[in-house]
Amino acid sequence: MVARIYSPAKTATQSGRGKTHDWVLDYVPEVARTIEPLMGYTSSSDMRQQVRLRFASEEEAVAYARRNGIAYRVEKPRERHVPKVTYSDNFRFNRHMPWTH
Protein backbone atom coordinates (compact mmCIF):
# COMPACT_ATOMS: atom_id res chain seq x y z
CA MET A 1 0.00 0.00 0.00
CA VAL A 2 1.34 3.41 -1.00
CA ALA A 3 1.07 6.46 1.23
CA ARG A 4 0.75 10.01 -0.04
CA ILE A 5 2.60 12.80 1.80
CA TYR A 6 1.41 16.33 1.03
CA SER A 7 0.77 19.76 2.45
CA PRO A 8 -2.99 20.50 2.23
CA ALA A 9 -4.28 23.52 0.31
CA LYS A 10 -6.35 26.19 1.98
CA THR A 11 -10.09 25.62 2.11
CA ALA A 12 -12.17 27.28 -0.57
CA THR A 13 -14.64 28.72 1.93
CA GLN A 14 -12.10 30.61 4.03
CA SER A 15 -9.59 33.27 3.10
CA GLY A 16 -7.06 32.27 5.77
CA ARG A 17 -4.35 29.64 5.37
CA GLY A 18 -4.76 28.13 8.83
CA LYS A 19 -4.19 24.41 8.38
CA THR A 20 -1.83 24.60 5.41
CA HIS A 21 1.43 24.49 7.37
CA ASP A 22 1.16 20.84 8.44
CA TRP A 23 2.11 17.82 6.34
CA VAL A 24 -0.35 14.94 6.01
CA LEU A 25 0.25 11.23 5.40
CA ASP A 26 -2.75 9.53 3.75
CA TYR A 27 -2.98 6.05 2.32
CA VAL A 28 -3.98 5.67 -1.32
CA PRO A 29 -7.03 3.36 -1.51
CA GLU A 30 -6.31 -0.15 -2.79
CA VAL A 31 -9.94 -1.21 -3.20
CA ALA A 32 -12.61 0.88 -4.89
CA ARG A 33 -15.58 1.93 -2.80
CA THR A 34 -18.84 0.09 -3.34
CA ILE A 35 -22.40 1.33 -3.23
CA GLU A 36 -24.79 -0.62 -1.03
CA PRO A 37 -27.78 -1.44 -3.28
CA LEU A 38 -30.64 -1.04 -0.78
CA MET A 39 -29.84 2.31 0.87
CA GLY A 40 -27.19 3.69 -1.51
CA TYR A 41 -24.53 4.08 1.19
CA THR A 42 -20.91 4.14 0.07
CA SER A 43 -18.66 1.65 1.84
CA SER A 44 -15.18 0.22 1.63
CA SER A 45 -13.40 -2.79 3.05
CA ASP A 46 -10.09 -0.90 3.14
CA MET A 47 -9.62 0.32 6.72
CA ARG A 48 -6.43 2.27 5.99
CA GLN A 49 -8.47 4.94 4.21
CA GLN A 50 -9.55 6.16 7.63
CA VAL A 51 -5.98 6.86 8.77
CA ARG A 52 -4.71 10.43 8.42
CA LEU A 53 -1.51 11.39 10.22
CA ARG A 54 -0.35 15.01 10.62
CA PHE A 55 3.28 16.08 10.95
CA ALA A 56 4.95 19.44 11.53
CA SER A 57 7.36 19.04 8.60
CA GLU A 58 7.90 17.02 5.45
CA GLU A 59 11.05 15.45 6.91
CA GLU A 60 9.12 14.08 9.90
CA ALA A 61 6.51 12.49 7.64
CA VAL A 62 9.16 10.88 5.40
CA ALA A 63 11.08 9.64 8.43
CA TYR A 64 7.91 8.06 9.86
CA ALA A 65 7.17 6.31 6.54
CA ARG A 66 10.73 4.98 6.27
CA ARG A 67 10.84 3.88 9.91
CA ASN A 68 7.62 1.86 9.49
CA GLY A 69 8.44 0.48 6.03
CA ILE A 70 5.64 2.32 4.24
CA ALA A 71 6.03 3.03 0.53
CA TYR A 72 5.36 6.73 0.04
CA ARG A 73 5.02 9.45 -2.57
CA VAL A 74 5.74 13.11 -1.72
CA GLU A 75 3.67 15.80 -3.44
CA LYS A 76 5.26 19.23 -3.22
CA PRO A 77 2.91 22.18 -2.66
CA ARG A 78 2.39 24.58 -5.53
CA GLU A 79 3.58 28.14 -5.21
CA ARG A 80 0.86 30.64 -4.54
CA HIS A 81 0.56 33.32 -7.23
CA VAL A 82 -1.34 36.44 -6.19
CA PRO A 83 -1.52 39.12 -8.90
CA LYS A 84 -0.75 42.62 -7.74
CA VAL A 85 -3.83 44.68 -8.52
CA THR A 86 -4.77 48.13 -7.29
CA TYR A 87 -8.15 49.81 -7.09
CA SER A 88 -7.21 52.28 -9.82
CA ASP A 89 -6.80 49.35 -12.25
CA ASN A 90 -10.62 49.15 -12.38
CA PHE A 91 -10.69 52.49 -14.20
CA ARG A 92 -7.77 52.03 -16.60
CA PHE A 93 -8.34 52.75 -20.27
CA ASN A 94 -6.61 49.57 -21.48
CA ARG A 95 -8.28 47.02 -19.21
CA HIS A 96 -8.07 43.31 -20.02
CA MET A 97 -11.83 42.95 -19.73
CA PRO A 98 -14.25 45.78 -20.50
CA TRP A 99 -16.23 47.10 -17.58
CA THR A 100 -19.93 46.51 -18.17
CA HIS A 101 -22.79 46.71 -15.73
Instruction: Say if 13 falls within a structural domain.
Output: yes
Instruction: Say if 19 falls within a structural domain.
Output: yes
Instruction: Say if 97 falls within a structural domain.
Output: no
Instruction: Say if 52 falls within a structural domain.
Output: yes
CA atoms within a 13 Å half-sphere pointing along the CA-CB vector of 81: 1
User: What is the rounded distance in angstroms from the CA atom of residue 55 to the CA atom of residue 26?
Assistant: 11
* pLDDT tens digits, one per residue of 9-23: 887 787 777 778 899
76-91 average pLDDT score: 82
User: Looking at residue 50, which CATH number applies to its domain?
Assistant: 3.30.160.190
Q: Specify the pLDDT at position 100.
A: 64
Instruction: Say if 100 falls within a structural domain.
Output: no
Instruction: Say if 7 falls within a structural domain.
Output: yes
Residue 23: give the domain boundaries.
Answer: 2-77
